[in-house]
Structure 1
Amino acid sequence: MKHGSASDINLTVFDVTKFLEDHPGGDDVLLSSTGKDATDDFEDVGHSSSARAMMDEFYVGDIDTSAIPSKRKYTPPKQPHYEQDKTSEFVIKLLQFLVPLLILGLAFGVRSYTKTPASS
């Protein structure tokens, strides 16, 4: 089996350390793909057949797919059920209107109670 062909990039390990300085796309491109599946990155660029042939030089080995853990579906932790406030919106709006009126009425009541009668 020829290593580094387009069909097996995602199951193959390459050490491109020696190629970092010579890579036409710069070393950042290679470093950003370190330790992950770089198949899409490699294919998106559209490497030439000579670039694909060079990959054999950097071949390390094949990935043991039996050692890869299966992906688990994320299940969020269960949270306690939140009970909404039992007070209806109407009561809240009514209180927002009545409380200031009551405070105003109380202020007038206190003022008139504490006001001293005019002396004649």
Structure 2
Amino acid sequence: NYNVLEQVYDVTKFLEDHPGGDEVLLSATGKDATDDFEDVGHSSTARAMMDEFYVGDIDTATIPANVKYTPPKQPHYNQDKTPEFIIKLLQFLVPLIILAVAVGVRFYTKSPSA
């Protein structure tokens, strides 16, 4: 086993000023962006600016190969029995009931036309 150190840069402060746009920098977040950087053909000025954003080195041998995310187990959530669901249902039904009563009162109290 041998350790490979990779350099880490925090370019957050440069996002707005990057000539290629912030999307280019954001797409390289959390990965080895060496090839991306080299393929563009950055100037010597751009290379000199990197020192300003240098954070440190990371030993890639300490990074686990594959970490599978397992979400925590949670009890089943039945939204149909929650008080919030009942309130939302009433907020929908009460105006409809009032409208139906109003139409019914109007219909039954309307004087017959001749």
In the alignment, structure 1 segments of 5+ residues that lack a partner are: 1-9, 72-120
Aligned to 1:24: 19
Aligned to 2:62: 67
Letter in 1 for 2:56: G
Aligned to 1:57: 52
Where 1:34 maps in the other structure, the secondary structure is coil
> Between Structure 1 and Structure 2, whose CA radius of gyration is higher?
1
Letter in 2 for 1:20: L
Letter in 2 for 1:35: G
**1:35 aligned onto 2:30:** yes
How far is 1:68 from its partner?
Answer: 2.3
How far is 1:64 from its partner?
Answer: 1.5
Residues 42-88 of structure 1: per-residue CA shift (max 9 Å, x gap): 010000111000000000110113312357xxxxxxxxxxxxxxxxx
TM-score (norm 2): 0.51
Aligned to 1:14: 9
Structure with the bigger RCO (C-alpha within 8 Å, sep 6+) is 2
How far apart are the structure 2 equivalents of 1:66 and 1:28? 29
How far apart are the structure 1 equivalents of 2:53 and 2:31? 16
Where 1:30 maps in the other structure, the secondary structure is helix
Residues 8-65 of structure 1: per-residue CA shift (max 9 Å, x gap): xx81110000000000000000000001110110010000111000000000110113
Where 1:63 maps in the other structure, the secondary structure is strand
Letter in 2 for 1:18: K
How far apart are the structure 2 equivalents of 1:21 and 1:57? 16
Q: How many residues align?
A: 63
